[in-house]
Amino acid sequence: MLEVRHVSKSFRGLRAVSDASFLVPEGDINGLIGPNGAGKTTIFNMIAGVHVPDSGEILLGGRRIDGLRPDQVCAAGVGRTFQIVKPFAGLSVLDNVVVGALHRERSVRSARNQALAMLEKLGLAAKRDWPASSLTLPDRKRLEIARALATRPQLLLLDEAMAGLRPTECDQMVQVFREINTAEGLTILLIEHVMRAVMALARHIGVLHHGEVIARGTPEQVVRNPAVLDCYLGEEAKV
Amino acid sequence: MPLDLVLNVAISGVLTGLVYGLMALGLSVIFGVVRVVNFAHGEMMTVAMYAATILFSVLKLDPFLAALPVAAAFFAFGYWLQKTLINPFVTRPMHSQFILLLAIAIVLVNGLLMIFGPDARNVQVDYQLESFEIGGILIDKARLYAATAALVAATALFAFFRFSLIGKAIRACADNYLGAKVVGLNVKHLYALTFGLGSACVAIAGCALSVLLEVTPQLGPVMTLLAFVIVIIGGMGSMAGALLGGVLIGTSEALAGLFIAPSAKSMFSFGLLILVLLFRPQGLLGTRA
Amino acid sequence: MSRPVAGLLALLALLTAFPLFIGPYVLSVLTLVLFLAYSGQAWNVMMGFAGQLSLGHSLYVGVGAYAAGALFFYYGIGPWAGVWLAVLLCVALGLAIGFLAFRFRISGVYFALLTIAFAEFTRVGFDHIGWLGGPAGMFLRVAQRDTWDFANFRGPPLMYYYTMLALTAAAFILCAWLMRSRAGYYWQAIRENEEAAEALGVNSFYWKMLAIAISSAMTAVSGVFFAFYYNNLFPEQIFHISRSIEILIGPIVGGIGTLFGPILGAAMVTLLAEGLSDALMALGWDIPGFKRVFYGVVLLMVIIFLPRGVWPALARRLGLHA
C-alpha cells in the first residue's frame, strides 16, 4: 500500500531523514518508533505532502505521491492526525467532522450524515453540538481521528495519538484502531512513544535514529534488537 | 536638465528623507518590538508639528529647541497610550488593532481640526530663506538642520538599543515574548517604554518638519501612509532600514517631481512599495521573520 | 417559520414601506446606509470568510464605477451591460492581487498594506488618465429624474433606494447560502486552522481566491451603482482610503464573519454620524471636526468593549444564533 523508497530530507544543512525505506502492506498496522528528533514526524510530513523529499520516492498503491500538496495527498487516500491536535475550535464537534466528510460527499446533507456516523463510531455522538474548544484532550484526539476518517482514507497516519492519555484511555484508543483496521481494512501507520500501544497494535515496526532506519521487523524482533535497545528502549526493556 | 539642478533637488530630497526616516524609525521600532501596527503614526507627528508652531508663535521658541520638551511630552503620552489603551490589543487580531488606532487617528486629526481649523500653518524662522553654498550646490539651512537633528536622534536611539541595559531588555522582548516574561522582564512596562520612544522620535521629526512644510490636519493620514511605505521598503524592525528607506523615498519623490509630474510622485512610491512587498517583503535591510 | 427569518422579513417589509413616511433627506441617508451595508457585506466575504484583511476595497468601487461610467459616457451603454465589464475587471484585479499575495507568501499586515498600495497607486494613476476625466472628474449626463428609466438607471431617488434595498437583500441571501454550503464550511475551516483543513483535502488557495473573486465582483456592482447614483466620479474621492475605511467600518463594528453584522454596523455608524451632525447643527455647535471626533470616540468604545462586534453580543441577548 505505502512504499517509502530511499527518502531523504535536510533542513538548512541538518539531515533530518537519511535514505529511509520501508513498506507498509495493505491492511497492516505499522509502527514508527525512535528517539525524539529521529525524523519520524518529518517522514510523516513528507508522506502527507507538507514537505517535499530532497530525494527518493513515496508511493501509495503504486502511484507516486511525493511532492503533492497536502490536499492532493488527502485526495489520493491519506488521512492524518497531528502531534498537537488541531481542532477547528470555533466550530461544533459535528461541523468539524463535516469538513472532513465533505471531501467525499457531494452535498452538505450527506456529509452531515456521514459525520454523525463517524462520531458514533468514535463515541462522540452525544457531544456533537458542543464547541470543539470545550472538549478534553482524549476527546479532541478522538475528534481528530473521526475527522480524518470522514475523508474515507485508505491509509491513516497517526502522529503520537496516545500522547497525554492515561493507560485506560490508551487501551480504549487501541481498541478503536483495532476495530477500524479489522472492520474496514484501513491501513494504519503510527508514530508512537507509548510502547504499550505500539506492542499491542503494530504488526510490524520500523525504528528511526538520526534520520536512518536502523531496524525493522515484528515487535518481538525489534525489542530484542541491540541497536534499538541502545539508542531508545534502554537496558530495562531487555526481555 | 542641468546637472546642478538635479543635484540640488536630489540633495534636498536626501535631507528631507532623513527626517521622514526618523518618523519611520519610530514606527519601525514600535512594530518591531510591540508588534502593533500604529496607523495613527502620521497623525501623531502632525500633532507634534502643531505643537512646534504653537510654541514658536507664543514663546518664539525655535522648533529645534522645542523638540526637547515636545519629545518628552510625547514620550509620556506614548507610554500612557500603550500601557492603557493599546496593550490589551497586542494579542488581538490585526483588524481590531487597525480599528483601535484608526479611531485614535480620527480623534487626533479632527481634534486638531476643531482647535486649529483647516488652514495651513507654518513656522517662520530667519534661516528658512538662507542656504549654504558648497561647490555650486545650494543646501537650505533649515533642511540641513532638520536632517542633522534627525540623524542625531536616530543615532541616540540606536546607541540606546545597542548599549544600554534597558535597550537590551527591550530587544529581548522583541525576540522572544514568552522567554522575556519567564526571565522576569516586565514586558508591559518595556512595551510602553518602546511606544514612548517611538512617539518621541515622531515628535522630533515633527518639530524638524515644521520648518520645512506647512501643516494642516489632513497631513496626518498622508504621513502615516508615507511612514508605512518607508518602513516596508527599508525593512520592518530595522533601524538603519528606516533611515535608508526615508532617504530613498525622499530622493525619489524629489526627483520624480522634477522629471515627471509632481502629482505623480507618490505613484512612484506606491509602485516601489508593491514591488518590494512582492519580491522582497522583508525590505532592503530587514530580516525574514 | 423561525424567529430570525420572521424578524428579517419584518425588517424588509419595514424598509420597503418606509419611504412612504419619510422625506428626501432621510431617504438619501437610508440609501447611503444600504449602500454601505451592501459594500460591507461584500468586504465581509473576503475578511470574514477568507480571513484576508483588505484595506483597499475602494479599488473595486472605483474600477467598477469608472468601467460602467466610461461605457455610458462614450458609447451610451447602459449600466446593465456596463456592470458585466465592471465585474470582469474587478474580479481580474482581485484575483491578480490575491494570486500575487499567495504566490509571494504575503499575509497579515503586509497583505493589508499591499491592498492599500494598489488602491493608492490607482488613485494617483487615474488622476493622470485624461480620457477618464483626470482629476477634474467624469460626469455622466442625466437625462431625466422623474420616471423610472431602469434601462439607463435614471429616475427619482426612490428608484435608487429600492434598487439598493434589493441588492442588499440579495447579498444577504447569497452570503447566507454560501455560509451553509461547502464553501462556508471550508472557509471557516481555513480560518480556524489552515493546516488541518488542508490535511482534510481542502485546497486553501482555491477557496481563498474564490472568496476574493466573489468579494470583488460584489463590490464592482456597488461601484456601478455609485456611478449612476452620484453621476460624477473623481479619482481623489472614489479611490481614496477613506472610502475603503467607510466600507469596512460597518462589518467590523457590526461583527466580522456574521451575516447581519455588516448591515447592523453600517446602519449604526452612518445613522450615528448623520444624527450627530444634525444634533450639533441644531445646537448651533457647527464646529468642523466635532462630529468626527465623536465618531472616533464611539468607534474606540465599540472596539474596546465589543471586540467581536455589536451583533454577536446583541444576538446573544435576543437569544439568536449569530
Domain membership of residue A121 (yes or no) is no
Q: What pLDDT score was predicted for residue C296?
A: 86
Name chain C contacts of B221, Cβ cutoff 8 Å: 241
Q: Tell me: pLDDT of B80 over 60.
A: yes
pTM: 0.86
Domain membership of residue B198 (yes or no) is yes
What number of residues does chain A have?
239
Q: Least CB-CB distance to A88: which of C180, C181, C193? A: C193
3-state secondary structure of A212: strand
C contact chains, 3+ CB pairs < 8 A: A, B
Summary mean pLDDT of chain A: 87
Q: Residue C67 corresponds to which amino acid?
A: A
Q: What pLDDT score was predicted for residue C1?
A: 63
C57 falls in which pLDDT band (50, 70, 90)? Answer: very high
Taking residues C110-116, what's their average pLDDT? 86
Domain membership of residue B238 (yes or no) is no
Q: Tell me: pLDDT of C281 over 50.
A: yes
Domain membership of residue B48 (yes or no) is yes
Summary mean pLDDT of chain B: 86
Buried/exposed code over B75-89 (b: 16+ C-beta within 10 A; e: otherwise): bebbbebbbeebbeb
Q: ∠A220-A221-A226 over CA atoms, to 5°?
A: 120
Q: Tell me: pLDDT of C269 over 70.
A: yes
Domain membership of residue B44 (yes or no) is yes
Chain A nearest-CA distance from C269, in A, is: 28
Chains C and B touch (3+ CB pairs under 8 A): yes
Q: Tell me: pLDDT of C322 over 60.
A: no
C90 falls in which pLDDT band (50, 70, 90)? Answer: very high
The H or E element containing residue C118 is helix C108-127
Q: Least CB-CB distance to C117: which of B94, B113, B273? A: B273
Q: Tell me: pLDDT of B21 over 90.
A: yes
pLDDT digits (tens, 9 = 90+) for A35-87: 877 788 888 899 999 999 988 889 998 888 888 999 999 999 999 999 889 99
Q: What pLDDT score was predicted for residue B271?
A: 83
Least confident of B86-90, B194-198, C185-189: B86-90
B contact chains, 3+ CB pairs < 8 A: C
Q: What pLDDT score was predicted for residue B289?
A: 44
CB contact under 8 A, A91 and C180: no
Summary mean pLDDT of chain C: 88
**Nearby residues of C288 by Cβ (< 8 Å), 6 or more positions away:** B113, B114, B117, B118
Q: Tell me: pLDDT of C5 over 70.
A: yes
Q: What is the DSSP string of C67-80?
A: HHHHHHHHH---HH
Q: What pLDDT score was predicted for residue A185?
A: 86
C178 falls in which pLDDT band (50, 70, 90)? Answer: very high
Please check whether residue C245 touches B, CB under 8 A. yes
Task: Give CA–CA dist C36/C16, Å, rounded.
Answer: 18
Task: Give CA–CA dist C228/C65, Å, rounded.
Answer: 8
Give the cell for residue C188.
471557516
Q: ∠C310-C36-C207 over CA atoms, to 5°?
A: 80
Q: ∠C235-C240-C242 over CA atoms, to 5°?
A: 150
pLDDT digits (tens, 9 = 90+) for A130-185: 999 999 988 899 899 999 999 999 999 999 888 888 888 888 888 888 888 888 88
pLDDT digits (tens, 9 = 90+) for C200-237: 999 999 999 999 999 999 999 999 999 999 989 999 88
Taking residues C105-130, what's their average pLDDT? 85
Structural domain of B201: 3-218
A237 falls in which pLDDT band (50, 70, 90)? Answer: low
Contact B238, B283 (CB under 8 A): yes
Number of structural domains, chain A? 1
Q: Tell me: pLDDT of B1 over 70.
A: no
Q: Tell me: pLDDT of A208 over 50.
A: yes
Q: Least CB-CB distance to A147: which of C182, C192, C200? A: C200
A235 falls in which pLDDT band (50, 70, 90)? Answer: low
Domain membership of residue A85 (yes or no) is no
Q: Least CB-CB distance to B114: which of C118, C290, C295? A: C290
C120: nearest CA partner in chain B: B270
Structural domain of A33: 2-77+153-237
Domain membership of residue B253 (yes or no) is no
Place of cell 536622534: B153
Residues 30-89 of A with CB under 8 A from C: 48, 50, 69-72, 74-75, 79-80, 82, 86-89
Domain membership of residue A136 (yes or no) is no
Domain membership of residue B232 (yes or no) is no
Give the cell for residue B217.
490636519
Q: Give me the residues paired with residue A5 across strands.
A: A57
- Indicate which CATH number applies to the domain containing A197: 3.40.50.300
pLDDT digits (tens, 9 = 90+) for B149-208: 999 999 999 888 888 888 888 877 777 777 777 777 788 888 899 999 999 999 999 999
Q: Tell me: pLDDT of A210 over 50.
A: yes
Number of structural domains, chain B? 1
Domain membership of residue A197 (yes or no) is yes
Q: Least CB-CB distance to C185: which of A82, A98, A151? A: A98
